[in-house]
Chains A and B, each alone.
Chain A
Amino acid sequence: MDNALYIGLSRQMTLQRHLDIVANNIANADTSGFKTEEPIFRTEPKSPARTADGPKPIKFVIDAGLARDFSQGALRATNSTLDLAIDGAGFFRIQTPGGERYTRDGHFRLDETGRIVTQSGQPVLDAGGAEVIIDPKKGALEIARDGSMSQGIEQVGRLGVVVFDTLSDLEKSGDNQFRNTSNQQPQPAPASLLRQGMLEASNVNPVLQVTDMMNVTRAYESLARMMESTQELSRRTVERLGRVE
């Protein structure tokens, strides 16, 4: 009898987590380079509390992982020189105190020494893994589709864009950055297209998120009702069995 309650509880816990993830998607609907996330659930077979008359094994639900949708977000024009969007697969390389990080948020700026840095001031790396220093006196910075940077007729370097074979090895570390959790080495992106003066919007689909959210709240309610009636059942059972004729 208690099995139904525990199964209901396991689903309610995952539903709460589902809502947390939906909330994070919606909160980041306007964050450049953000990638939508969705929880993956799986069944967890367990033997029931009472097996005397051999009922089938019961199945709990458990959160197994997180699917990240790495599809392309919409490109929107900002007309800022150091706003870059990657059209296609690939990540920019960022140097942080905790090691190399990867991002698709191409909103960069120059710091006081002329380095290209992210919003939080961490240097962006070039194809060779070195910091990029720009001298604004040389003229307007032009960044070509392949990441090569030029000022006037002078070539001043090439921004690094890398791809990963297995995207699920990446883990979000906040600040729009991803961390590599495996030993695989990122490879230079063969056919990435950089667009200067544009940013990649988040790929959150608001309609899907709101429907997800409605599903979650309704499922939660129906589980509460299921658990309530299960409890009602056991209450009545105790009442009837306890009655002295």
Chain B
Amino acid sequence: MQALRTAATGMSAQQLNVEVISNNIANMNTVGFKRQRAEFQDLLYQTLERAGAQSSDQGTVVPTGLQVGAGVKAGSIYRIVEQGAMTQTGNKLDMAIQGRGYLQVLLPTSEIAYTRAGNLSLNDQGQLVTSEGYQIQPSIVIPPEATDISISKSGQVQIKQAGATAPSIVGNLELATFVNEGGLEAIGDNLYLESGSSGAPNLSVPGVDGTGVLLQGYTEASNVDAVSEVTALIVAQRAYEMNSKVITAADQMLSTANQVKS
């Protein structure tokens, strides 16, 4: 009976939906996190009678075909790259990206990863690093004698040194943008890798060519909305239950058939 398998596809799709929602809720307070959504598509249809097929020699045609669908599958799990709220931290090394773009991070494997989590720190050599200690690219070194750091909207990093009246520039941050941001591959730790569907990174000065600007002293909060996630969870759970009801119904019909006395 097709209904059993169809309902099973429905149950596994809703299970995936719950997994995506629970990951969103778990990351409600993760800096720079972008919420995800599962989108579904219907599976193939078995066409038993084609619409428009001839039903007699007189040229009459079947007005409506007869198709039975095989269920549902996960079409894609996509990231909604909506801007998260800006949270003021007052930390000189925190920066939020307002608009499009990602900071570049040098991984220990010497690959470049991309992130929107701008909660940065300094390592023992004075280099600007992420919370995992991975270097930000282009590398920026803050000398130990610096008394103040300021990061401009366009990514220019300036320091003030004791005794000097004018600030000095120690480097410029760049932002990478992608044609299809949703296609970036998430690798955890708030990091993303370039993928075949994201396109090649486009480096530019913040604020130029449609990229966002940097805000010092802020971090970008996760864009997960608790209320809509909880409602989505309720919908998913009920849909799961309904699919299991179909399995019960199909099972009941099969058992009726089995109990027919000969």
Contact = CB atoms under 8 A, between A and B. Distances in A.
B69 A37 contact: yes
A171 B180 contact: no
Contact of B253 (A111, A120, A216): A216
Given A109-B78, A136-B177, A228-B260, A30 B198 contact: no
Nearest to A29: B239
A127 B144 CA distance: 61
Contacts of B43: 174
Interface stretch (B126-134, B149-157, B168-176, B243-251): B243-251
B234 interface: no
B42 A174 contact: yes
B72 interface: yes
Interface in A176-200: 176, 181-182
B211 to A, nearest CB: 9
Contacts of B45: 171-174
Interface in B41-64: 41-45, 47-52, 62-64
Interface stretch (A63-71, A93-101, A236-244): A63-71
Interface in B211-261: 235-236, 238-239, 242-243, 245-246, 249-250, 252-253, 256-257, 259-261
A92 interface: no
Contacts of A28: 10, 40, 42, 69, 71-72
Interface in A1-48: 12, 15-17, 19-24, 26-32, 34, 37, 39-40
A22 B210 contact: no
B13 A119 contact: no
Contact of B242 (A137, A172, A209): A209
B75 interface: yes
A72 to B, nearest CB: 18
Nearest to B250: A19
Given A112-B198, A120-B75, A174 B6 contact: no
B67 interface: yes
Contacts of B246: 19, 22-23, 26-27, 213
B153 to A, nearest CB: 17
B196 interface: yes
A176 to B, nearest CB: 5
Nearest to B81: A80
Interface residues of A, number: 71
B245 A172 contact: no
A66 B3 contact: no
Contacts of A216: 249, 253
Interface residues on B, range: 35 or more
A168 B41 CA distance: 21
A227 interface: yes
A172 B67 contact: yes
Contacts of B22: none
Nearest to A121: B197
A12 to B, nearest CB: 8
B28 interface: no
B76 interface: yes
B2 interface: yes
Given A15-B253, A137-B202, A209-B242, 11 more contacts: A16-B3, A24-B68, A27-B13, A28-B71, A30-B14, A32-B39, A66-B65, A111-B183, A113-B199, A137-B210, A176-B42
20 contacts: A19-B253, A23-B71, A28-B69, A30-B17, A31-B72, A37-B69, A65-B63, A66-B65, A66-B67, A79-B80, A80-B78, A111-B180, A112-B197, A121-B197, A137-B202, A169-B51, A171-B47, A171-B67, A173-B45, A213-B246
Interface of A: 12, 15-17, 19-24, 26-32, 34, 37, 39-40, 63-68, 78-80, 105, 107, 109-114, 119-121, 136-140, 168-176, 181-182, 206, 209-210, 213-214, 216-217, 220-221, 224, 227-228, 231-232
Q: Which 8 A-B pairs have the closest CB atoms?
A: A27-B10, A65-B64, A24-B69, A23-B3, A112-B199, A23-B6, A20-B2, A119-B75
